[in-house]
Amino acid sequence: MNRTTDASDAITRAKAPLQRNFLSWNIVHSSVDQWWAFRDPNRQRKDTAPAKVAALDADTSEGLYKLFAAVES
């Protein structure tokens, strides 16, 4: 068993729905087990108003998903 690979696979699986559902954001999982999202202005539709929130952080991928739900609604 390779713990590094197992952890990496779990992070990749946790990132997948975030990346799929929030296309204009870059999702980052840090080495201190923190989740971040940064809005990518190049991915935002040109016909929308500028975003008020450019970055989010949470302790878990689920927490980040909840923050997205609040920001994107």
At 52-71, the pLDDT tens digits run: 888 999 999 999 999 998 98
Assign 7 a pLDDT band (cuts: 50, 70, 90): confident
Q: How many domains does the chain have?
A: 1
Q: pTM higher than 0.85 for the full model?
A: no
Torsion of CA 30, 33, 35, 40, to 10 degrees: 10
Residue 35 is part of which domain span? 2-72
- Helices and strands in the chain, H and E counts: 2, 3
Contact 29, 11 (CB under 8 A): yes
Average pLDDT over residues 35-44: 85
Give all strands (DSSP E) within the chain, no chain letters.
Answer: 25-29, 35-39, 55-58
Query: In this structure, what token pair is assigned to residue 34?
Result: 């923190």
pLDDT of residue 12: 95
pLDDT of residue 53: 87
Q: Using the predicted structure, report yes or no on whether residue 21 has a pLDDT greater than 90.
A: yes
